[in-house]
Structure formats: C-alpha cells, structure tokens
Amino acid sequence: MTRARTPPVLVTGATGRVGRAVADLLIDAGVPVRALTRRSETAAMLPADVEVFTGDLTVPESLDAGLRGVDTVFLVWTAPPATAPAVIERLAAYARRVVFLSSPHQTPHPFFQQPNPMAVLHADIERLIAAAGLESTIIRPGMFASNALFWWAPTIRAGGAVRWPYGAAETAPVDDRDVAAVAARTLYQDGHAGGDYVLTGPESVSQAEQVSVIGDVLGRQIKFEELSPEEFRNETEGSWPRPVVDMLLAAWSATIGRPAFITATVSGILGSAPRSFRQWAADHVTTFTAGPAPSN
C-alpha cells in the first residue's frame, strides 16, 4: 500500500546501477525522490523529477541538506569504511528507516562464506544501523548479471576470447532490475520493516555457460579460455583492486562442484519470476556489440 502524501526517499548511489533504477521505480510509484551524488554534473543523467543533492558519504555533514524532511533512506555504500559510523548516526538523526544494499555474507553456502573486506564492511554497517535504532530492511543480492558488462563486454566487443578463471564455477546471476524492483517495493510498500532478503537469479549457471549464453544471443560462438588464478591475478594487476580479485577468486574456488545458492525471494516479493541470465543478456545485446565501454 502506498502512503498518502509520502515524504521523500533519499536515494544514495542514485547514479549507479541499482540506485538509478530504484529512483526511476519510486518516481513511477509516485514517491518523491531525492538523489544523492558527489558530482553535480551527473544531475543531467537523473530523471527530471528527482531533487538532486550533492553529498559525499566520506563527508558526513554534507548529507544534512538531503536528509532534512526525509523518512526513509536507500543506502548504497561503495565508499571507504571510515565514515560509516558518523553517517549512520546522521541518518538516524533525520530518518526513521533505512533500506540497505548489502550482500549475502550470512548465507551458509561456500560462495558467500569466504572472509573478505566487503563482507566485513556490510556486517559492520548492518550492526551500526541496528544499534542506531533505525528500522531496517536489508537487501542481499548475489552476483549481479551486469558484472558481465565490466568483465567480458570489452573483449567480446573486440571479437576476442574471454580469458577467465574458474569457468566451471556456478553462480545464480541476479538482474539489477530485479534487485532494484525489490528494493523499491520495500521502500514504498508497508510490511518490510525487519526484512532480510537474499536475492538471486532463477538458475545456477557456470561462468563458461554465461559466456556461451551471451554468444547465443549474439548469434556467434565466443571462445572461453580458462586462466589459472595466478594468471588472472597477473592480468588484472594494476587495473583491478587486489582485495576484489582475491574476494572473487576465493568465492569461485570455494563453489566449484556445487550448484549456486538460489532463493525464491524475488518472486515472493514481486509476484513475478526473476529474469534469467539469458533474458538479461538479450536485453543488453547492444552493449556487447557497439558503443563505448561501460564505466565502473
């Protein structure tokens, strides 16, 4: 049920993959949106009817203007951890409720159980939210299908082979649009206080199969060349953060020989099945064939 005269929702990460889609869905649902960005020049890429606030999670006081009069915050944290306690304190001073984009670090499947700094950060932020007395909903997507844009699209556009480790590692890629749709629902619909939602795609698909599915929708075969973990470390040296590389290698390695963890949460909340990886690929075909490389 949508509340009458709904107060605005502050959407952080509003220029990012999930936050941008959440902003669109809230607007569609008639909910006023405040969009947070560090760069005022990005206002042009946001929907015309959002109110844009410039602010930075590493400068907690910069959030005050956007928080005044807000009831609920959609929190996406891609900043360093140092200011998280001060930011959560500030959110609690202004808002009643937070919907936090986290990860399935509590899920008892080897893929999600490898120690890594991202899991520690997410767990810390969840603890801070609870300790601040904020009402919360925690959204825990597994691997985004759209990671394929950053990982493989440049090579595929160039007509090359995908050189990648752990081709047999299975994940259940979740479409960002489904993640955003669930997050938006919990932001404008009652009944999600205390919700803790692990979101996955509908099927377990190995990384090599995902590349093959992209080839299918493009109508050509894409060669998959297996790299050793060491080769992958060398190839990403200097261009990827080392902790991210270590986190991915540990997760893929731990899941070899097991199907991915799958939940029915997306359909439970949205009433429709999550999009498959094939659907995601078909909807992003132009990104694999033309245009500038996606920026992270």
Residues in touch with ligand NAP (CB under 6 A): 12-19, 36-39, 42, 56-58, 76-79, 101, 103, 118, 141, 143-144, 147
- The alpha carbon of 259 is separated from its chain's Cα centroid by a whole number of angstroms, namely 21
| Shortest Å, Cβ 278 to ligand NAP | 18
- Which of residues 82 and 131 has its CB atom nearest to ligand NAP in the complex? 82
Nearest approach, Cβ of residue 128 and ligand NAP (Å): 15
Question: Closest CB to ligand NAP belongs to which residue?
Answer: 16
Contacts of residues 123-127 at CB distance under 8 Å and 24 or more positions apart, as own/partner, are 124/81, 124/84, 125/75, 125/77, 125/84, 125/88, 125/100, 126/100, 126/102
Q: Alpha carbon 130 to chain centroid distance?
A: 21
The least CB distance from residue 18 to ligand NAP, in Å, is 4
Nearer to ligand NAP, 64 or 230 (CB): 64
Least distance from ligand NAP to the Cβ atom of residue 91, Å:
13
Nearer to ligand NAP, 35 or 159 (CB): 35
**CB closer to ligand NAP out of 56 and 124:** 56
Select 79 or 282, whichever has its Cβ closest to ligand NAP: 79
- Using the structure block, give the residue that is written with the tokens 């669109």: 24
What residue has token string 């692990």? 198
Residue 228 beta carbon to ligand NAP: minimum distance, rounded to whole angstroms = 23
Residue in the block written with tokens 């090359």: 160
Backbone angles phi, psi at 175, to 5 degrees: -75, 130
Q: CB-wise, 3 or 242, nearer to ligand NAP?
A: 242
Q: How far is the CB of 227 from ligand NAP (least distance, A)?
A: 20
CB 71 within 8 A of CB 97: yes
Sequence-distant (6+) residues with CB within 8 A of 20 are 14, 45, 46
